[in-house]
Amino acid sequence: MAEGSATAIVRKMVGKAEPYIPQIPKPKKKQTLQRRLMWTGLALLIYMIMGQTPLFGATTPEFDFLAFARVIFASQQGTLVELGIGPIVTAGLLMQLLRGSEILKFDFKKPDERGIFQTATKMVTYVVIVAEASVYGIAVYGPGITEPSVLYVLIGQLMAASIIIMLLDELIQKGWGLGSGISIFIMAGVTQQILWSLFSPLPAGDGGTIGIFPYIAQSIFSGDLSNIFFRPNQLPSIFGLLLTAGVILILVFTQGMKIEIPIVSTKYRGFAAVYPIKLMYVSNIPVILASALTANVIFMGQMLWANLNPRNNNEFMNILLQFDPTSPSTPIGGLVYYITPPRGLDVAVLDPMRAVGYVIFMIIIVVIFGKLWVELGGLSSKSAAKNLLDADVQVPGFRRSNQPIEALLNRYIPSVTLIGSMILGLLAGVSDVLGVFGTGIGVLLMVDILINYYNQLVREQVEIVMPRLGALLGRK
């Protein structure tokens, strides 16, 4: 009864609020690939400009409280994209959890039901934007602002910028652009970090440059090559460069591993193809969800610590979290200490148990979200079997009905979900600990996003010839 009531309340609220919610209209006809790429590039350009525009009235804090989540949230400290895609991801996570726990019941097979859920998610996003902008503005920038009016203006900037980011993402997803705004913003942020680690000419703390290539040239001219393989203070090094290249190669290789199930068309005689079930079946969504949840937990932990346990003298709070009073963004104890990565080999060596604990934590949480996403994202064996039949194809040797196809897919999908999630969690954890360029999670997301964009470009060509088959492949 309560479940049905919750869903009915959401439907009623959406019905009343929808006329007043800003919406990006869908294009009246499908846009050409060139036009969609143009809109995608324009949205990315706007986002990058916002990432270089400082917040008016803000004094950059001494410590970056979201340093651990910048890659995930595609954000830049002290700029209009301070919060990045954080509110969008957080609201989406909350709504998916409510639907997954069946507190909210929506049938995504019906376009109207899916539309109501998407509008409800947008409404929750607005609430999260107001909450995060207010809390972050007051807690992080508030102590350095003496005039209340300046603080209100700063919070207003955070809210307005987050709404623009949400609309840019909606613009791309509604069919004007290609793919997902969230994905392309993350990819741009990670790429920027990697290029910075490779080529930055700015001075670093060890007397050299930040970028590894300028540092190598500088070391060759000075005749001192002793530190180019390993560098202290998590600075880019040859070891980090080789590690980054190795992780990218592993990801590209595993992305190509798949099980191919033969299929034939029931509509076009003589047409035969394969239905691929990739080893990385779950894609990058579980990593984003797991990272977003962890980032929010750590951020809220920092706020609680600052207000309730700033001197680490509360025994109960110390079990959960402890931060360095001289560097509030650095955990030094409690459970939160083990769910934040010890970035860099030199840091991991000081506390190997923390490094191992973090890797294990990443594997477990990505597996959990991987299994959850397969059920919520329409990737389960049951959903995949229905999608095959709806696309007018069947598997040779099997009756054209859901049960036998679902039984066949059940041999593979649960296994690749578990194995793929474990590989993603392991790569993300180990890469973060050893210090790859752009962070381990960032590199995972970047490679997966690039591969997905390549596959999407291929599907664009397939859909021109066989629209229904292209739509089916688009679900993978």
Domains recognised in the chain with CATH numbers: 1-24+32-178 (1.10.3370.10), 234-476 (1.10.3370.10)
> Quick one: CA dihedral 202, 205, 206, 211, positive or negative?
negative
pLDDT tens-digit profile of 333-370? Answer: 888 888 888 877 778 888 888 889 889 999 999 999 88
CA distance 386 to 16: 34
**AA identity, residue 351:** D
103 pLDDT above the threshold of 60: yes
Pick from 102, 170, 165, 107: nearest CA to 132: 165
- Please compute the mean of the pLDDT values over residues 148-155 and round it to a whole number: 90
Query: Environment class of residue 230 by beta-carbon count within 10 Å: exposed (0-12), middle (13-18) or buried (19+)?
Result: middle
C-alpha radius of gyration, the chain, whole number: 24
Please give the structure tokens belonging to residue 221: 């001219």
Task: Give the residue-averaged pLDDT of 423-434.
Answer: 87
Q: Which two tokens stand for residue 334?
A: 């409690």
> Taking the chain, what is the end-to-end CA distance rounded to the nearest angstrom?
35
Give the three-state DSSP class for 200.
coil
Residue 476 has pLDDT above 60, yes or no: no
What is the percentage of the chain residues whose pLDDT exceeds 90?
12
> What tens digit of pLDDT does each residue of 282-297 get?
777 788 778 777 877 8
Measured CA to CA, the distance from residue 288 to residue 448 in angstroms comes to 11
Q: Are 101 and 6 in contact (CB under 8 A)?
A: no
Per-residue pLDDT tens digits for 404-421: 888 888 888 888 889 988
> CB-based contacts of 239: which residues, under 8 Å, 6+ apart?
229, 230, 345
Amino acid at 48: M
Q: Higher-confidence residue: 39 or 229?
A: 39
How are beta strands 322-324 and 258-265 bridged, if at all? Answer: unpaired
- The Cβ of residue 4 has, within 10 Å, a number of other Cβ atoms equal to 10
For residues 267 and 308, which has the higher predicted lDDT (pLDDT)?
308
pLDDT, one tens digit per residue, over 43-86 is: 999 999 999 899 988 877 766 766 767 877 888 888 999 998 88
d(CA 176, CA 27): 7
Query: For residue 293, what pLDDT is reported?
Result: 79
- Give me the sign of the Cα torsion angle 55, 57, 60, 61: negative
Q: Which residues pair with 394 in a beta bridge?
A: 264
Q: What is the pTM of this model?
A: 0.76
Q: Which of 232, 192, 228 minimizes the C-alpha distance to 212?
A: 228
pLDDT at position 461: 67
Compute the average pLDDT of residues 237-250. Answer: 88
pLDDT at 468: 52
Q: How far apart are CA 49 and CA 64, in angstroms?
A: 21
